[in-house]
Amino acid sequence: MKQYDRILFVEGSDSCRAPMAAELLKECTLKHPVDVEARGLVVLFPEPLNQKAEAVLISNGIHMGDYISKQLAEEDFAENTLILVMEHLHKEKILEKYSTVNPEDVQVLTEFVGEELEILDPYGGTLQSYGLCYETMRKTIKKLADCLNGEEGTEKPQ
């Protein structure tokens, strides 16, 4: 597997799943230092983390402070940057809109770690749906950390 120096998690608005994924990966121990950030495909104005996502993170001991969403831009596509999106639709939009991106460096997060289903967007749902999103994301990010550390298929049952 190619070694990346930077990982960008990308979703629609950069106010829930992408920052959640970035923060979860930052808490993992990686063998190679990686800069981890989140971006949105459509950030009309900077906004804070979704309140329900923030509540779920805080209840799991993760405090993101003054997080503000950021728009994905051409300059984000540097060499050795892996773009992990939450949905196939996000991947398609990036490949259509940004000419400088290497298609091999844009992957659906769940497929990248060998899962079939996308991580569903809890937007507009109950606090419980955000909690379920967090739990799914936590397991997926653990698999991602294993992949980045060259330990594919060695996940230990919990």
Predicted pLDDT of residue 153: 53
Predicted pLDDT of residue 84: 98
- The phi and psi torsions of 83 (rounded to 5 degrees) equal -105, 115
Cα 69 from chain centre: 13
Instruction: Show Cβ contacts of residue 54 under 8 Å, excluding neighbours closer than 6 positions.
Output: 48, 64
Closest Cα partner for 25 from 59, 62, 54? 62
Model confidence over 137-158: pLDDT tens digits? 999 999 999 999 998 654 433 3
Question: Is the pTM higher than 0.75?
Answer: yes
**Burial degree of 56 (CB within 10 A; 0-12, 13-18, 19+):** buried
Is 5 a residue whose pLDDT tops 80? yes
CA atoms of 147 and 28, how far apart (whole Å): 12
Q: Which amino acid is at 5?
A: D
Write out the two tokens for 10: 């990308």
Model confidence over 38-78: pLDDT tens digits? 999 999 999 999 999 999 999 999 999 899 999 999 999 99
Is 6-148 a domain of CATH 3.40.50.2300? yes
In whole angstroms, how far apart are CA 70 and each of 5, 11, 19? 20, 11, 10
Give the mean pLDDT of the chain.
Answer: 94
Upper half-sphere CA count for residue 44 (Cβ side, 13 Å): 0
Model confidence over 88-123: pLDDT tens digits? 999 999 999 999 999 999 999 999 999 999 999 999
